[in-house]
A = this chain, B = another copy of it.
Amino acid sequence: MNYNAPLTQMKFLLRDVFEAERVWASMPATQDVSSDVVDAILEEGAKITREVLAPINRSGDEEGVHWSKEGVTTPKGFKEAWKTYAEGGWIGLGGEPAYGGQGMPKMLTVLFEEMLYASNCSFALYSVLTSGAALAINAHGSEQLKQTYLPKMYSGEWSGAMCLTEPHAGTDLGIIRTRAIDNKDGTYSITGTKIFITGGEQDLTKNIIHLVLAKLPDAPAGPKGISLFLVPKVIVKADGSLGARNKVSCGSTEHKMGIHASATCVMNFDGATGYLVGEINKGLAAMFTMMNYERLSIGLQGLGCSEMSYQNAVAYAQERLQSRAATGAVNPQKEADPIIVHGDVRRMLLTMRAYIDGSRAFSLYTGMQLDLAKFHPDAALRKKAEDLVALLTPVAKAFISDKGFDSCVLGQQVYGGHGYIRDNGQEQLLRDARIAQIYEGTNGVQAQDLVKRKVIANNGAFVTLFLNDVRASLSSATHTEASVIAALSGAIRLLEQATDRLLKAAGTDPDYAGIVSVDYLHLFGLVTFGWLWLQVADKAVALRDNMASAKTTVDSAFLDAQLVTAHFYFERLLPLADSHAHSIQSATSSLMTLSARHFSR
């Protein structure tokens, strides 16, 4: 598999659609970020993912990780790749400059993370978990913890892992059993078993910094009694050097459907030494600080896999000769035409592309709001961005990963039987993308978060905030056909009606939100993608009509392709909004009446 980061589309979105330079110039923390710097980083990112990470993706899947009592070994080539990767400074790309991070905006790191996942999901996870753990330490850790751990994590000498799930507690973290005892010397003793710990053990780094959720003996029941602890695999001495092994061990690794080269560990903490991060009993809130970043990142996993699948599918469709075009042979000298001439193959490819490019725009937009929320000098603008991030994060995580998976299914389908064969790589992308719909809160849980905490809890205020921006775009889209405006306006109305219904039912029917949540999230995602495609299409026409004077890196053929894809989205994919809206409106809670045992055969 040859992965080539879609730099043209990335730069077009950054520069032309979202005018990132203006955003960066408006904030002191990002004032020094220029398009030149960003371009150079993107080019380097494209290079390392193409040359170092993509080549060990298939082999990593076949070999998987190896567990023994001594530890976990990653597949051939991963150790060397990690060294190159860490030396490139990629892990600290968005990290805090005061501790050795590069402080780059999220608008850039989302693009690089997409490349990471596209080229090698399993490898990406070791890096992303380290950045994520560093983010939590930076946000909630003491100055000493930050000075001790962040520089070595940003440099990739040490890695990070998140230890939340237990055998009996996944979604419901309130019932975890891992216990923390205060040693009264500034440390805690952590005891318990955590499962599904990505990168819990590996041979890439000399130390692994676990962030562990645990309960103190006198903690309140439920989510309000959870604290967060930093538990290093190897104790770090006062001078920063490594000391004794901590009482942390990996009991086994899981055999999974995909991400075979990512070590998914059972972790045993047997009175391990830990350090409190943030305040006692506020561990879940501390974890949630990073959730908006991590959940967006998992959306990017779905996006990355589907971009790789798309690139493979296009190449295959251009090469594979089978049957003739409906309008007559285009390849009469050969025994058949390339399958890209067939309408249904194009339907599959454009469906993938419409979701992929839409997802990229969505992740950039969400990244921009994360940057504004963090860096903007204007408090009102920060607040608005925070609200939008809160609203959009579950949509970004679930909708992008759902459409990413669906796109991987299509990318495999384009290959026919050859897509079912492991060698061709398409089936791995589907298996690797599948987990993005499940972990970091299942997509069902994302939908619950959306309808309950982000819509009902504020009586629809965030939705109104968002739709005001969407409507403003409709008015300013002066280059766009009336039919597109009408299609999007119709879908917006469906979303408003669904929101009204949700809010009305909230007081009277406690089950309603839960039973329509996934339909609502998908309706929301479709409208959001419509809004993003409107902006892309409007900008594409504006540039194309003015190519001579336009300051852009793209050519008119690229813009035409964007426009064809945009129209395809409005004609063929946005209509899905109809059925989600219909389903939301016609849903009754009758399904709650069936007794649990009558689901059985």
A residues sitting closer than 8 Å to B (CB atoms) are: 4, 6, 8-9, 165, 168-172, 175, 196, 254-258, 311, 314-315, 317-318, 321-323, 326-327, 335-336, 338, 340-350, 353, 405, 409, 412-413, 416-423, 427, 430-431, 434-435, 437-439, 442-444, 447-448, 487, 510-515, 517-519, 557-558, 560-561, 564, 567-568, 570-573, 575-580, 582-583, 586-601
| Min CB gap A486→B, angstroms | 11
Given contacts A317-B599, A575-B579, 15 further A-B contacts (CB under 8 A): A171-B322, A172-B323, A256-B422, A326-B511, A338-B596, A344-B448, A346-B592, A346-B594, A353-B599, A413-B438, A416-B442, A487-B586, A567-B590, A575-B586, A576-B579
Residue of B nearest to A517 (CB): B344
A587 contacts B572, CB within 8 Å? yes
B420 contacts A256, CB within 8 Å? yes
| Smallest CB-CB A-B distances: 10 pairs | A343-B514, A575-B582, A343-B515, A257-B427, A579-B579, A578-B578, A326-B510, A172-B322, A6-B601, A575-B579
| Min CB gap A262→B, angstroms | 11
- Listed by A's residue number, 6 A-B pairs whose Cβ atoms lie within 8 Å are A171-B323, A342-B514, A349-B599, A571-B588, A572-B586, A573-B583
A170 contacts B326, CB within 8 Å? no
Take A327-B510, A438-B417, A510-B326 as given contacts and tell me if A343 and B591 are in contact as well, using a CB distance cutoff of 8 Å: yes
Number of identical monomers bound together in the oligomeric complex? 2
- Give bound CA distance, A560 to B589, whole Å: 15
B599 contacts A314, CB within 8 Å? yes
A344 contacts B438, CB within 8 Å? no
| Min CB gap A9→B, angstroms | 7
Q: Which of B168, B196, B447, B575 contacts A344 (CB 8 A)?
A: B447
A594 contacts B255, CB within 8 Å? no
| Min CB gap A240→B, angstroms | 35
Residue of B nearest to A567 (CB): B590
B444 contacts A348, CB within 8 Å? yes
Which of chain B's residues have a CB closer than 8 A to the CB of A601? 4, 6, 8-9, 311, 314
Most buried by B among A168, A175, A327, A599: A599
B336 contacts A175, CB within 8 Å? yes
Which of chain B's residues have a CB closer than 8 A to the CB of A4? 601
Residue of B nearest to A5 (CB): B601
A434 contacts B420, CB within 8 Å? yes
Which of chain B's residues have a CB closer than 8 A to the CB of A345? 444
Take A323-B172, A344-B517 as given contacts and tell me if A568 and B591 are in contact as well, using a CB distance cutoff of 8 Å: yes
- Give bound CA distance, A515 to B315, whole Å: 20
Which of chain B's residues have a CB closer than 8 A to the CB of A575? 578-580, 582-583, 586
B417 contacts A347, CB within 8 Å? no
| Min CB gap A556→B, angstroms | 11
A443 contacts B413, CB within 8 Å? yes
B417 contacts A170, CB within 8 Å? yes
Which of chain B's residues have a CB closer than 8 A to the CB of A487? 586
B586 contacts A571, CB within 8 Å? yes
Q: Which of B172, B510, B518 contacts A347 (CB 8 A)?
A: B518
B561 contacts A255, CB within 8 Å? no
